[in-house]
Structure 1
Amino acid sequence: MTQKFMYGTDSNQFGELSLPEGPAEKKFPVVVSIHGGFWKDKYDHSDFTDLDKQLVANGLATWNIEYRRVGPSGGGYPRTFEDVTNAVNYLTTLAKDHPLDLDRVVVIGHSAGGHLALWAASRYQHQADELGQPVQINFTGVVSMAGVTDLEAMWVDQQPLPMMKDIVPNFMGALPAEAPDRYRLASPIDLVPIKTKTVLVHGTSDDKVPVELSQSYYQKAQAAGDSVQLVELPGVGHFDLIDGASPAWGAVKEAVNRLLDKE
């Protein structure tokens, strides 16, 4: 069963809640899924629709969130971040009428969604700031799927590519040198330790988000004392991770199961 719920008044402020079948008294662990697409309007939550069906078939509830993105929907810094927080926190409202186990919630995200998933995991019991309120859900774990762990490093990597070089500044509203504090607030690598079990899944043949970003995050998070695992997948590309028939997606499901102790 899948239902759409609005967590805000904008047409992009919604999520799709999917529940497995089960006894009425049973509460289900939850996977929050955050799609990627370099934060652009042309990509949307449908990237996770079929993947979520597999998670639901495995006995998990899913909350597939949409958010305002760069383009006509008016997203970018700080609105995208505010939306992610509000969407996650809306789980506390949904749990009043739906069998959700909010003590067992994992957040996953692909590419730009991996960036937002890691960022959201850092916001539990956080001070309110220009990016909004704290996240109210204490995540059991986070899985970054080829996530953009370092915004400035992603910007540097994209400079030789004319069609890509403005993606990060367009999202952040400034170049790194123009707003270093803004980048520090938004870049996961600058937010460790996040004190949440973390799994980074990344293909070594990724030509969109280099695997070195996950490697650098892993090293810094581990040094900071976080519980973090890096799963490098030889020969795997960027979009293999969201191919429901791919062994790469299987590695993501395994990570989710481990975090929720479902193996």
Structure 2
Amino acid sequence: MKNLISIILLLLSFSISAQQRFIDSSFQLKNTETKTYATKNGEALKLDIYQPEKDTLQQRPVIIFMHGGGFAGGTRTNSAEVKFAETAAKKGYVAVQISYRLTRKGQSFGCDYKASGKMETFRLAAEDFMDAVHFMVKNKEEYQIDLDKIIVGGSSAGAEAVLNAVYNENLMFDDFSKYENINFAGVFSLAGAIVDARYITEENAVPGVFFHGTEDNLVPYATAPHHWCTPDQPGYIMLDGSKTITEKLENLNTAYMLYSFKDGKHEHSGMPFDYLPEVFEFFYSVFLNEENRQIEVWK
């Protein structure tokens, strides 16, 4: 009986040691913490922090994610975003889901809304995103965060805010000094786009993972008008989507992984659970270990 118990304990020990941090789900979860990262116009902007239980690592990568919803809706507690955060925390990440100002709540963000207003919407959301990142950086010791391993991501409108903050900071911010010491290890974009890919340079060419439908009817896959507005409409503004961004990264010899869904529309702004093993493997090899991979997958 003692020999049997010893064998079981040995096998259990081997199983745990064989699991790979950041790839496999090796941890239970701590209780989720909710914090206010900023207050703007009387609104408390909150974020939820997911962490692995009994993690002995002193510095851990963090994933900060921004939900979608056309800057009018959505929530950080959406079941898909929560599931993604829990999945990441079980692998050893600190995972953060953030709320931000929904400046178009109850209003249009389509072709009848002027382009200058859309730019201001992008700027305000990018500011909220960077303030959330700044909050986590300020509290790096409490949450044992490795400042060289900050991964950021978003879905749809959230992806637009994140990508513009990362790649178009000169268009989004009059004064970037508050954030100048924040460095990103990688971005994770679900049906996102930026205002102008020409502003991606060697200095800000952060590696990325991108998911996008080739016929997205809201956020362009390559370079096209937002919501496919026509030039005579107030909301006409050109955006550069995932394909154009990754072409720029390729030219700058920067790592990326692009999943293109032939004839897919905006449904690919949803969390790609079927492909998360590949996503986390890319996070590990490229974002955390700085391998240079350029991968394109067609579905």
SS where residue 95 of structure 1 aligns? coil
Aligned pair partner of 1:191 in 169, 185, 199: 199
Give the residue type in structure 1 aligned to 2:274: P
Structure 2's unaligned 5+ residue stretches are 1-29, 108-119, 223-240, 292-299
Q: Superposition pairs for residues 43-192 of structure 1, below 5 Å?
A: 43-47=74-78, 48-71=81-104, 76=121, 78-122=123-167, 129=174, 133-149=178-194, 187-192=195-200
Aligned pair partner of 1:217 in 236, 239, 245: 245
Does structure 2 conserve the Cα–Cα contact (< 8 Å) formed by 1:7 and 1:86?
yes
> In structure 2, how many angstroms separate the alpha carbons of the residues matched to 1:23 and 1:113?
29
Q: Is 1:247 paired with 2:257? A: no
SS where residue 153 of structure 2 aligns? strand
> In structure 1, how many angstroms separate the alpha carbons of the residues matched to 2:215 and 2:265?
5
User: Taking structure 1 as reference, are residues 26 and 236 closer, same or farther at Cα in structure 2, changes over 3 Å only?
Assistant: farther
Report the alpha carbon displacement of residue 251 of structure 1 after superposing the two structures with TM: 4.5
Deviation larger for 81-90 or 246-255: 246-255
Deviation larger for 74-83 or 44-53: 74-83
Match of 2:71 in 1: 39
Number of equivalent positions:
224
Query: Which is greater in Rg?
Result: 2
Give the residue type in structure 1 aligned to 2:39: T
SS where residue 62 of structure 1 aligns? strand
What is the RMSD of the two structures over their aligned residues, measured on CA atoms?
3.4
> In structure 1, how many angstroms separate the alpha carbons of the residues matched to 2:172 and 2:138?
22
User: Taking structure 1 as reference, are residues 29 and 20 closer, same or farther at Cα in structure 2, changes over 3 Å only?
Assistant: same
> In structure 1, how many angstroms separate the alpha carbons of the residues matched to 2:35 and 2:199?
30
Report the alpha carbon displacement of residue 250 of structure 1 after superposing the two structures with TM: 4.7
User: Taking structure 1 as reference, are residues 190 and 69 closer, same or farther at Cα in structure 2, changes over 3 Å only?
Assistant: farther
User: Taking structure 1 as reference, are residues 251 and 112 closer, same or farther at Cα in structure 2, changes over 3 Å only?
Assistant: farther
SS where residue 82 of structure 1 aligns? helix
User: Taking structure 1 as reference, are residues 43 and 101 closer, same or farther at Cα in structure 2, changes over 3 Å only?
Assistant: same
> In structure 1, how many angstroms separate the alpha carbons of the residues matched to 2:275 and 2:68?
16
Q: Is 1:257 paired with 2:257? A: no
Report the alpha carbon displacement of residue 3 of structure 1 after superposing the two structures with TM: 0.5
Report the alpha carbon displacement of residue 189 of structure 1 after superposing the two structures with TM: 2.0
> In structure 2, how many angstroms separate the alpha carbons of the residues matched to 1:243 and 1:82?
24
TM-score, scaled to structure 1: 0.71
> In structure 2, how many angstroms separate the alpha carbons of the residues matched to 1:76 and 1:123?
14
SS where residue 146 of structure 2 aligns? strand
Match of 1:7 in 2: 37
Structure 1's unaligned 5+ residue stretches are 150-186
